[in-house]
């Protein structure tokens, strides 16, 4: 049986020391082992950004795509091989700016993919511009006078888009984050896990200390019931979205795959192509 160490590879992350993304990588590796996966049962598909590098740092199938397009690829992988556990991952810019159209539709489609967003409320890779998650008044190179746009509350948005699994965590809380990723993987449908993952180099406002002071853990909220969508929305609004834990889960709704009557139990990836080896090589040559 695999341990988290089996999900490590030899590639050394080049994130800045202290970047929140290190913990997300560790949490994915731990969660994968804890739910009983082997490296060849897992595919990690990422977009572009500092966060997007994560697919290169995990020993599993992986694909480092283009900016904002992790989800279309991840959904395609899942459709072609339903036996794989598919994790899509990337930054707040990747998922909530350029890739937002995909995010909304993947949520309402409820395809069985776990989407982990490393939310540092800034564009890290391009050296510090505002993202849709940056707070109003936030000063960056692109907003020297302070942002005049309001920050998107992604958790509220997900609930209204019909999400069946909505969770949020914090890089400093490896235990909670790992547990939420395990729950997301086990959820039969689309799971969105937004992770407050501080950018220590460009975001000097939303720091580890800032989150520690401002976050409310749902585990500490008396009688919080993640099956109640109304309470979930109200709690998010009361705390301006700054809560961590399992916010909402609907276990009744079937996933996209379960609703396709003609969807073959035998994954497309394992089916006989019914062509000769010669023809196969000819086709492959066209793509090389």
Q: Interface with ligand TPP by CB under 6 A: which residues?
A: 48-51, 67, 90-94, 98, 118, 120, 122-126, 131
Strand partners, 196: 119, 170
Side by side, the strands of the sheet bearing 191-196 are 61-64, 42-46, 85-91, 114-119, 191-196, 165-170, 243-249, 216-217
Find the part of the chain contacting Mg ion (CB under 5 A) among 7-15, 116-124, 189-197, 219-227: 116-124
Dist CA 31 CA 178 (whole Å): 5
The answer to whether 92 contacts Mg ion (rule: CB under 5 A) is yes
- Give min distance, CB of 73 to ligand TPP, in A: 14
Which of 7, 21, 60, 159 is the binder for ligand SF4 (CB under 6 A)? 21
Which does residue 202 bind out of Mg ion, ligand TPP, ligand SF4, none, counting CB within 5 to 8 angstroms by kind? Answer: ligand SF4
- Give min distance, CB of 195 to ligand TPP, in A: 11
Which does residue 211 bind out of ligand SF4, ligand TPP, Mg ion, none, counting CB within 5 to 8 angstroms by kind? Answer: none
Is 170:215 a contact under the CB 8 Å cutoff?
Answer: yes
The answer to whether 48 contacts ligand SF4 (rule: CB under 6 A) is no
The secondary structure of 225-251 as a DSSP string is -TT-HHHHHHHHHHTTT-EEEEEEE-S
Q: What are the backbone dihedrals phi and psi of residue 114, each rounded to the nearest 5 degrees, phi first? A: -100, 120
Find the part of the chain contacting ligand SF4 (CB under 6 A) among 12-20, 67-75, 108-116, 210-218: 12-20
The answer to whether 180 contacts ligand SF4 (rule: CB under 6 A) is no
By beta-carbon proximity to ligand TPP, the closer residue of 131 and 194 is 131
The answer to whether 201 contacts ligand SF4 (rule: CB under 6 A) is yes
The answer to whether 46 contacts ligand SF4 (rule: CB under 6 A) is no
Dist CA 191 CA 28 (whole Å): 14
Alpha carbon of residue 32 to chain centroid: 14
By beta-carbon proximity to ligand SF4, the closer residue of 211 and 248 is 211
- Beta strands 243-249 and 165-170, pairing class: antiparallel
Is 237:169 a contact under the CB 8 Å cutoff?
Answer: no
Q: Which two tokens stand for residue 192?
A: 């969105």
Dist CA 106 CA 191 (whole Å): 10
The answer to whether 195 contacts ligand SF4 (rule: CB under 6 A) is no
Find the part of the chain contacting Mg ion (CB under 5 A) among 113-121, 215-223, 258-266, 271-279: 113-121
264 burial type by CB count under 10 A (0-12 exposed, 13-18 middle, 19+ buried): exposed
Which does residue 115 bind out of Mg ion, ligand SF4, ligand TPP, none, counting CB within 5 to 8 angstroms by kind? Answer: none
Strand partners, 118: 91, 195
By beta-carbon proximity to Mg ion, the closer residue of 65 and 226 is 65
Contact residues for ligand SF4, defined by CB under 6 A: 15-16, 19, 21, 50, 120, 124, 199-202
Residues lying near Mg ion in the complex (CB under 5 A): 91-93, 120
């Amino acid at each position: 049986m695999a341990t988290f160490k089996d999900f490590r590879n030899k590639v050394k992350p080049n994130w800045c020391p202290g970047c929140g993304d290190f913990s997300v990588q560790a949490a994915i590796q731990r969660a994968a082992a804890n739910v009983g996966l082997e490296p060849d049962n897992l595919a990690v598909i990422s977009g572009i950004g500092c966060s997007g590098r994560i697919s290169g740092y995990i020993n599993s199938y992986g694909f480092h795509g283009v900016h904002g397009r992790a989800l279309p690829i991840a959904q395609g992988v899942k459709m072609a091989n339903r036996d794989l556990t598919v994790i899509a991952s990337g930054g707040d810019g990747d998922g909530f700016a350029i890739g937002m159209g995909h995010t909304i539709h993947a949520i309402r489609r409820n395809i069985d993919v776990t989407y982990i967003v490393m939310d540092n409320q800034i564009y890290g890779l391009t050296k510090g511009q505002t993202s849709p998650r940056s707070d109003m008044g936030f000063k960056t190179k692109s907003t020297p006078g302070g942002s005049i746009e309001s920050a998107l509350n992604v958790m509220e948005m997900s609930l209204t888009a019909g999400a069946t699994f909505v969770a949020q965590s914090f890089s400093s809380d490896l235990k909670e984050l790992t547990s939420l990723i395990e729950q997301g993987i086990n959820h039969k449908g689309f799971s969105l896990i937004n992770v407050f993952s501080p950018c220590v180099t460009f975001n000097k406002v939303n720091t580890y200390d800032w989150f520690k002071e401002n976050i409310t853990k749902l585990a500490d909220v008396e009688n919080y019931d993640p099956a109640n969508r109304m309470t979930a929305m109200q709690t998010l609004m009361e705390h301006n979205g700054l809560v961590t834990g399992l916010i909402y889960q609907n276990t009744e709704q079937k996933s996209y795959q379960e609703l396709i009557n003609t969807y073959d139990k035998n994954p497309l990836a394992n089916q006989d192509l019914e062509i000769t080896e010669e023809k196969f090589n000819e086709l492959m040559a066209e793509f090389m």
